[in-house]
């Protein structure tokens, strides 16, 4: 049936090729189907509104939104630098800042410990000078999520800035706008679609963060135990709860991807 469908470009795909595509699709769909089949729908609401689940949910929202805010505050300027300023070592710096996208998150967590841990580069000083201790705190969870999620914002916004017509900024300057005015009233509004897409992707990634969080921030309910950590632990004690929590994360991620399909995924 698939092979009889008209291909608008006129190239008829071999049936085997389409079969492989079907296999690929099934590979993605089956785990999701499995989750749905296993979901204890009768007790789902009760599991979801249990104090443990609500605590994890609340913390996840707080941490992921904070991570997104941090990403916006420092990631947008970083994206701007990458898009606009040529300086020696830019390519290297850029690669290093998007590294967390491909780095195993656990490695990210170890690296964060090496930097912000008690005996870390900055952590030692933070502890001695201010008595600030980041691991095992909600701030640590936020930091871990920011580390892993911010690159999504940076590359999305950078692409937006690169694609922007710079003459709009010139126009604003000839109209008397100073740098901050140009930035606030022209540049950022013009890349708003990229900002939104980047922030949402960043948020979704932060929401799903597990490896760096558990490594760097540990696991404690209400403080660092976010949804994915709760899922992981619940799998051993209360698998039904794990499945329901997973389903919530799945629904959020799906909503994000569908919402962004035009902007980021390039589909029509």
Partner 1 sequence: MKARVLGAVAAALLLAGCGGTSEPGSPPSSGPSGSITVFAASSLTAAFGRIGPDFQKTFPGTMIHFAFAGSSTLVAQIQQGAIGDVLASADQPNMQKLVNAGLTSGSPSIFARNKLQIVVPAGNPKHVTGLADLGRAGLVVVLCASAVPCGHYATEALQKAGVTVKPASEETDVKAVLAKVALGEADAGIVYVTDVKAAGAQVQGVDIPASLNVVADYPIVVLKDSQNIALAKVFIGYLHAKGQETLARYGFLPA
Partner 2 sequence: MSLEARIQASVSGFELDLQIAVGAGELVAVLGPNGSGKTSVLRVLAGLMPLDAGRVTLDGVVLDDPPTGVRVAPEHRPIGMVFQDYLLFPHLSVLENVAFGLRSRGTRRAAALTLASQWLERVGLEGYADRRPGSLSGGQAQRVALARALVTSPALLLMDEPMAALDASTRVELRRELRRQLESFDGVRLVVTHDPVEAMAMADRLIILEQGRVLQSGSPAEVAQRPRSRYVADLVGVNLYRGRARETVIALTGGGSLTVAEAADGEVFAVVHPRTVALYRTRPDGTPRNVWEGRASDLDLEGDRVRVRLEGSPSIVAEVTPAAVRDLGLDRGDPVWISVKATEINVYPS
Binding site for partner 2 (CB under 8 A): 165, 167-168, 170-178, 181, 185-186, 189-190, 192
Structure tokens belonging to residue 234:
């619940």
Distance, first Cα to last Cα, the chain: 24
Under 8 Å between Cβ of 152 and 72:
no
Q: Residues interacting with partner 1, by CB under 8 A?
A: 30-31, 34, 37-38, 113, 117-119, 133, 135-136, 214, 217-221, 224-225, 232-233, 235-237, 239
Of 65 and 196, which CB lies nearer to partner 2 in the complex structure? 196
In the block, residue with structure tokens 């296993």: 38
Q: Going by C-beta distance under 8 Å and a sequence separation of 6 or more, which residues neighbour residue 136?
A: 217, 218, 220, 223, 224
Could you tell me if 156 and 198 are in contact, meaning their C-beta atoms sit under 8 angstroms apart? yes
With CB cut-offs between 5 and 8 Å by kind, which of partner 1, partner 2, none does residue 118 bind?
partner 1
Distance of closest approach, residue 81 Cβ to partner 2, in angstroms: 21
Pick from partner 1, partner 2, none: which does 224 bind, CB < 5 to 8 A by kind? partner 1
Rounded CA gap, 43 and 27, in Å? 28
Q: Are 70 and 150 in contact (CB under 8 A)?
A: yes
Find how far residue 6's CA is from the centre of its chain: 37
State the minimum distance, in angstroms, from the CB of residue 45 to partner 1.
24
In the list partner 2, partner 1, none, the entry touching 190 (Cβ below 5 to 8 angstroms by class) is partner 2
> Residue 186's binding partner, choosing from partner 1, partner 2, none, with beta-carbon cut-off 5 to 8 A by kind?
partner 2
Return the one option of partner 1, partner 2, none that residue 30 interacts with (CB less than 5 to 8 A, by type). partner 1
Least distance (Å) between residue 146 CB and partner 1: 19
Task: Select 135 or 208, whichever has its Cβ closest to partner 1.
Answer: 135
Q: Which does 167 bind (CB under 5 to 8 A by kind): partner 2, partner 1, none?
A: partner 2
Rank residues 84 and 133 by Cβ distance to partner 1 and give the closer one: 133
Tell the smallest beta-carbon distance from residue 14 to partner 1 (Å).
Answer: 28
Q: b or e along 48-85 (b: 16 or more beta carbons within 10 Å of the residue's beta carbon)?
A: eebebbeebbebbeebbbbbbebbbeebbebbbbbbee
CB nearer partner 1, residue 109 or residue 198 = 109
Contact 202, 152 (CB under 8 A): yes
């Amino acid at each position: 049936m698939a092979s009889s469908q008209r291909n608008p470009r006129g190239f008829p795909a071999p049936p085997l090729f389409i079969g492989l595509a079907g296999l690929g699709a099934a590979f993605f769909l089956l785990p999701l189907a499995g989750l749905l089949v296993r979901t204890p729908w009768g007790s789902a609401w009760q599991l979801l509104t249990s104090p443990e689940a609500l605590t994890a949910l609340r913390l996840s929202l707080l941490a992921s939104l904070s991570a997104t805010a941090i990403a916006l505050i420092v990631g947008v300027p970083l994206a701007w630098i990458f898009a606009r300023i040529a300086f020696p070592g830019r390519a290297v710096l850029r690669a290093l800042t998007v590294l967390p996208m491909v780095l195993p998150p656990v490695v990210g967590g170890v690296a964060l410990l090496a930097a912000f841990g008690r005996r870390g580069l900055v952590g030692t000083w933070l502890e001695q000078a201010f008595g600030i201790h980041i691991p095992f705190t909600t701030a640590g969870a936020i930091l871990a999520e920011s580390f892993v999620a911010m690159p999504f914002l940076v590359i999305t916004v950078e692409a937006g800035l690169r694609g922007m017509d710079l003459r709009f900024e010139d126009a604003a300057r000839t109209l008397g706008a100073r740098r901050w005015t140009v930035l606030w009233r022209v540049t950022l509004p013009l890349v708003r679609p990229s900002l939104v897409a980047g922030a949402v992707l960043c948020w979704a990634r932060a929401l799903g963060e597990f490896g760096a969080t558990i490594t760097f921030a540990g696991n404690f309910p209400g403080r660092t135990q976010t949804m994915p950590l709760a899922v992981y632990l619940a799998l051993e004690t209360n698998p039904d709860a794990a499945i329901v929590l997973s389903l919530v994360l799945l629904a959020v991620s799906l909503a994000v991807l569908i919402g962004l399909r035009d902007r980021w995924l390039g589909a029509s």
